[in-house]
Chain A
Amino acid sequence: GIQVEQSPPDLILQEGANSTLRCNFSDSVNNLQWFHQNPWGQLINLFYIPSGTKQNGRLSATTVATERYSLLYMSSSQTTDSGVYFCAVELHNDMRFGAGTRLTVKP
Protein backbone atom coordinates (compact mmCIF):
# COMPACT_ATOMS: atom_id res chain seq x y z
CA GLY A 1 0.00 0.00 0.00
CA ILE A 2 0.86 3.65 -0.20
CA GLN A 3 3.19 4.96 2.50
CA VAL A 4 2.26 8.28 4.06
CA GLU A 5 4.66 10.29 6.20
CA GLN A 6 3.73 13.41 8.08
CA SER A 7 6.09 15.90 9.63
CA PRO A 8 6.72 17.10 12.18
CA PRO A 9 5.16 14.50 14.49
CA ASP A 10 4.72 17.10 17.23
CA LEU A 11 4.56 20.88 17.13
CA ILE A 12 4.16 23.38 19.94
CA LEU A 13 3.31 26.96 19.04
CA GLN A 14 2.59 30.17 20.82
CA GLU A 15 -0.77 31.66 20.00
CA GLY A 16 -0.47 33.88 16.94
CA ALA A 17 2.38 31.96 15.32
CA ASN A 18 2.32 30.51 11.82
CA SER A 19 3.12 26.91 10.87
CA THR A 20 3.52 24.51 7.98
CA LEU A 21 2.69 20.81 8.15
CA ARG A 22 3.94 18.40 5.53
CA CYS A 23 2.59 15.17 4.05
CA ASN A 24 4.77 13.00 1.81
CA PHE A 25 3.41 9.97 0.01
CA SER A 26 5.09 7.15 -1.83
CA ASP A 27 2.96 6.74 -4.94
CA SER A 28 0.66 8.61 -7.29
CA VAL A 29 -2.73 9.26 -5.74
CA ASN A 30 -6.11 10.32 -7.00
CA ASN A 31 -7.35 11.78 -3.72
CA LEU A 32 -5.88 13.66 -0.80
CA GLN A 33 -7.62 15.11 2.23
CA TRP A 34 -6.53 16.97 5.34
CA PHE A 35 -8.40 16.44 8.61
CA HIS A 36 -8.26 17.98 12.05
CA GLN A 37 -8.98 15.71 14.99
CA ASN A 38 -9.96 17.92 17.91
CA PRO A 39 -9.20 17.05 21.55
CA TRP A 40 -12.62 15.38 21.81
CA GLY A 41 -11.73 12.98 19.01
CA GLN A 42 -13.96 14.43 16.32
CA LEU A 43 -12.57 14.34 12.77
CA ILE A 44 -13.22 17.52 10.84
CA ASN A 45 -12.66 17.95 7.13
CA LEU A 46 -10.25 20.73 6.30
CA PHE A 47 -9.45 20.29 2.62
CA TYR A 48 -10.15 17.90 -0.20
CA ILE A 49 -7.12 18.67 -2.37
CA PRO A 50 -5.79 16.03 -4.79
CA SER A 51 -3.87 18.81 -6.55
CA GLY A 52 -3.46 22.58 -6.56
CA THR A 53 -3.99 25.15 -3.83
CA LYS A 54 -7.00 26.01 -1.69
CA GLN A 55 -7.58 28.50 1.06
CA ASN A 56 -10.12 28.66 3.83
CA GLY A 57 -9.71 31.49 6.30
CA ARG A 58 -6.45 31.10 8.22
CA LEU A 59 -5.75 27.76 6.58
CA SER A 60 -4.47 26.96 3.13
CA ALA A 61 -3.21 23.79 1.49
CA THR A 62 -1.12 22.95 -1.52
CA THR A 63 -0.68 19.55 -3.14
CA VAL A 64 2.04 18.93 -5.71
CA ALA A 65 0.95 15.54 -6.96
CA THR A 66 3.87 15.10 -9.36
CA GLU A 67 6.32 15.50 -6.46
CA ARG A 68 4.15 13.49 -4.04
CA TYR A 69 3.67 15.94 -1.21
CA SER A 70 1.11 18.23 0.30
CA LEU A 71 1.51 21.16 2.68
CA LEU A 72 -0.96 22.60 5.17
CA TYR A 73 -0.33 26.21 6.17
CA MET A 74 -1.81 27.76 9.27
CA SER A 75 -1.53 31.44 10.06
CA SER A 76 -2.20 33.26 13.34
CA SER A 77 -2.76 30.04 15.28
CA GLN A 78 -5.33 29.92 18.09
CA THR A 79 -5.66 27.60 21.07
CA THR A 80 -8.70 26.04 19.41
CA ASP A 81 -6.42 24.84 16.59
CA SER A 82 -4.86 22.31 18.95
CA GLY A 83 -5.32 18.65 18.10
CA VAL A 84 -3.98 16.20 15.55
CA TYR A 85 -3.79 16.96 11.85
CA PHE A 86 -4.05 14.00 9.50
CA CYS A 87 -3.28 13.68 5.85
CA ALA A 88 -5.07 10.87 3.99
CA VAL A 89 -4.24 9.77 0.47
CA GLU A 90 -6.06 7.38 -1.79
CA LEU A 91 -5.38 5.30 -4.87
CA HIS A 92 -8.05 2.98 -6.27
CA ASN A 93 -10.20 2.75 -3.11
CA ASP A 94 -7.16 2.21 -0.89
CA MET A 95 -7.14 5.25 1.43
CA ARG A 96 -4.19 5.49 3.82
CA PHE A 97 -3.75 7.89 6.70
CA GLY A 98 -0.52 9.30 7.99
CA ALA A 99 0.31 9.06 11.70
CA GLY A 100 -0.57 12.73 12.12
CA THR A 101 1.00 15.90 13.47
CA ARG A 102 0.05 16.70 17.05
CA LEU A 103 -0.29 20.47 17.38
CA THR A 104 -0.42 22.27 20.71
CA VAL A 105 -1.10 26.00 20.67
CA LYS A 106 -0.31 27.72 23.95
CA PRO A 107 -1.98 30.97 25.05
Chain B
Amino acid sequence: NAGVTQTPKFQVLKTGQSMTLQCAQDMNHNSMYWYRQDPGMGLRLIYYSASEGTTDKGEVPNGYNVSRLNKREFSLRLESAAPSQTSVYFCASRGQVSTGELFFGEGSRLTVL
Protein backbone atom coordinates (compact mmCIF):
# COMPACT_ATOMS: atom_id res chain seq x y z
CA ASN B 1 0.00 0.00 0.00
CA ALA B 2 1.53 3.29 -1.10
CA GLY B 3 -0.88 5.47 0.97
CA VAL B 4 0.03 9.13 0.42
CA THR B 5 2.92 9.79 -1.96
CA GLN B 6 4.69 13.15 -2.29
CA THR B 7 7.20 14.32 -4.85
CA PRO B 8 9.85 15.59 -4.81
CA LYS B 9 11.33 14.60 -1.44
CA PHE B 10 13.91 17.40 -1.56
CA GLN B 11 14.16 20.63 -3.53
CA VAL B 12 16.40 23.68 -3.47
CA LEU B 13 15.13 26.86 -5.11
CA LYS B 14 16.40 30.37 -5.58
CA THR B 15 14.27 33.29 -4.47
CA GLY B 16 11.68 34.07 -7.13
CA GLN B 17 11.65 30.64 -8.74
CA SER B 18 8.44 28.64 -8.98
CA MET B 19 7.75 24.99 -8.30
CA THR B 20 4.95 22.52 -7.73
CA LEU B 21 4.77 19.84 -5.05
CA GLN B 22 2.78 16.83 -6.10
CA CYS B 23 0.66 14.61 -3.87
CA ALA B 24 -1.30 11.48 -4.68
CA GLN B 25 -3.27 9.08 -2.48
CA ASP B 26 -4.55 5.63 -3.30
CA MET B 27 -7.00 5.22 -0.41
CA ASN B 28 -10.04 6.62 -2.25
CA HIS B 29 -10.16 9.51 0.23
CA ASN B 30 -12.32 12.53 -0.44
CA SER B 31 -10.36 15.12 1.55
CA MET B 32 -6.75 16.18 1.04
CA TYR B 33 -4.53 18.67 2.86
CA TRP B 34 -1.22 20.54 2.62
CA TYR B 35 0.68 21.42 5.79
CA ARG B 36 4.02 23.03 6.50
CA GLN B 37 6.25 22.27 9.45
CA ASP B 38 8.88 24.69 10.68
CA PRO B 39 11.59 23.84 13.22
CA GLY B 40 10.30 23.42 16.75
CA MET B 41 6.71 23.87 15.70
CA GLY B 42 3.73 21.76 14.97
CA LEU B 43 2.15 21.56 11.55
CA ARG B 44 0.20 24.46 10.10
CA LEU B 45 -2.50 24.05 7.47
CA ILE B 46 -1.90 25.83 4.16
CA TYR B 47 -4.85 24.67 2.04
CA TYR B 48 -7.26 21.80 1.99
CA SER B 49 -9.70 20.21 -0.43
CA ALA B 50 -12.81 18.77 1.17
CA SER B 51 -13.72 16.93 -2.02
CA GLU B 52 -12.86 16.84 -5.69
CA GLY B 53 -13.49 20.24 -7.23
CA THR B 54 -13.24 22.28 -4.02
CA THR B 55 -10.36 23.99 -2.25
CA ASP B 56 -10.21 26.21 0.83
CA LYS B 57 -7.62 28.28 2.64
CA GLY B 58 -6.12 27.15 5.88
CA GLU B 59 -4.14 28.99 8.51
CA VAL B 60 -1.19 30.11 6.32
CA PRO B 61 -2.24 30.28 2.62
CA ASN B 62 -0.32 33.38 1.49
CA GLY B 63 2.21 32.69 -1.25
CA TYR B 64 0.68 29.35 -2.26
CA ASN B 65 -1.84 28.03 -4.74
CA VAL B 66 -3.38 24.57 -4.96
CA SER B 67 -5.10 22.40 -7.53
CA ARG B 68 -7.26 19.35 -6.88
CA LEU B 69 -6.57 17.67 -10.19
CA ASN B 70 -8.83 14.69 -9.53
CA LYS B 71 -9.85 12.60 -6.55
CA ARG B 72 -6.36 11.14 -6.16
CA GLU B 73 -4.13 14.18 -6.69
CA PHE B 74 -3.67 17.50 -4.91
CA SER B 75 -0.79 19.80 -5.87
CA LEU B 76 0.75 22.79 -4.10
CA ARG B 77 2.38 25.55 -6.15
CA LEU B 78 4.80 28.25 -5.10
CA GLU B 79 4.67 30.92 -7.83
CA SER B 80 7.55 33.05 -6.55
CA ALA B 81 9.45 31.31 -3.77
CA ALA B 82 10.70 33.30 -0.78
CA PRO B 83 13.19 32.29 1.95
CA SER B 84 10.27 32.32 4.44
CA GLN B 85 8.84 29.34 2.56
CA THR B 86 11.79 27.17 3.51
CA SER B 87 10.07 24.37 5.36
CA VAL B 88 9.04 20.75 5.30
CA TYR B 89 5.75 20.26 3.49
CA PHE B 90 3.38 17.43 4.26
CA CYS B 91 0.41 16.24 2.25
CA ALA B 92 -2.36 14.36 4.05
CA SER B 93 -5.68 12.76 3.26
CA ARG B 94 -8.72 11.27 4.95
CA GLY B 95 -12.05 9.80 4.06
CA GLN B 96 -14.21 12.82 4.79
CA VAL B 97 -13.54 16.41 5.76
CA SER B 98 -13.75 17.15 9.49
CA THR B 99 -13.93 13.53 10.57
CA GLY B 100 -11.77 10.44 10.69
CA GLU B 101 -8.08 9.80 10.82
CA LEU B 102 -5.64 11.92 8.89
CA PHE B 103 -2.89 10.04 6.99
CA PHE B 104 0.34 11.80 6.04
CA GLY B 105 2.87 11.47 3.27
CA GLU B 106 6.58 11.34 4.05
CA GLY B 107 7.17 15.05 3.55
CA SER B 108 9.03 17.27 1.09
CA ARG B 109 11.94 19.36 2.32
CA LEU B 110 12.13 22.67 0.49
CA THR B 111 14.98 25.16 0.83
CA VAL B 112 14.71 28.63 -0.72
CA LEU B 113 18.00 30.48 -0.99
Contact = CB atoms under 8 A, between A and B. Distances in A.
Given A31-B99, A43-B90, A48-B101, A95 B45 contact: yes
Given A1-B59, A43-B90, A99-B41, A93 B97 contact: yes
A45 B106 contact: no
B42 A33 contact: no
Interface in A58-107: 86, 88, 90, 92-100
Given A41-B106, A93-B56, 8 more contacts: A31-B99, A33-B101, A33-B102, A35-B104, A86-B42, A88-B42, A98-B42, A99-B41
Contact of A97 (B40, B44, B101, B106): B44
User: From DSSP, what is the main secondary structure of chain B's interface residues?
Assistant: loop
Given A4-B42, A93-B50, A45 B59 contact: no
Size range of the interface on B?
A: 20 to 34
Per DSSP, chain A at the interface is strand
Nearest to A50: B99
A55 interface: no
Nearest to A41: B107
Contacts of A53: none
B48 A93 contact: yes
A20 B99 CA distance: 26
Contacts of A95: 33, 45, 102
Contacts of A1: 59
A42 interface: yes
Nearest to B109: A41
A87 to B, nearest CB: 9
B48 A45 contact: no
A88 B102 contact: yes
A86 B43 CA distance: 9
Contact of B98 (A41, A86, A92): A92
Contacts of B42: 4, 86, 88, 96-100
